[in-house]
Amino acid sequence: MTKLDFSQINKNAANSFNEQRNVIKKIGKGGTVLCSTCRLPLKLSVSALNTSGLSCEKGCTNIALELEI
Ligand SMILES: [Zn+2]
């Protein structure tokens, strides 16, 4: 019988969430984070609707975020 380890899945989700937060913090401080696909720098954009996003110039990375920065 196979046991599914949901705690591990949740842990991974939390890790990627923290990773996103770290990327945003780094960019917010003027640092540069490169897109893993096209190697262009990611840009942080905040819209009027209080949602922020993280995207590269080519659009291969486009992460919508709902964070209070
Ligand atoms: Zn890209």
Report whether 58 contacts 64 (CB < 8 A): no
pLDDT for res 10: 75
Whether 42 maps to a domain, the answer reads yes
pLDDT for res 32: 92
Whether 18 maps to a domain, the answer reads yes
pLDDT for res 60: 93
**4 CA to centre of ligand 1 in angstroms:** 34
Angle at alpha carbon of residue 33, lines to 28 and 34, rounded to 5°: 150
Whether 1 maps to a domain, the answer reads no
Whether 33 maps to a domain, the answer reads yes
Give 48's DSSP letter: T
Give 44's DSSP letter: E
**36 CA to centre of ligand 1 in angstroms:** 7
**6 CA to centre of ligand 1 in angstroms:** 31
pLDDT for res 40: 95
Q: What does the pLDDT average to over 8-30?
A: 82
CA distance 7 to 45: 33
Assess whether pLDDT exceeds 60 at residue 6. yes
Q: Which domain does 19 fall in, by range?
A: 6-65
Structurally, the chain folds into a number of domains equal to: 1
pLDDT for res 38: 96
- Note the pLDDT tens digit of each residue in 30-59: 899 999 899 999 988 776 666 778 889 999
Give 57's DSSP letter: S
Whether 44 maps to a domain, the answer reads yes
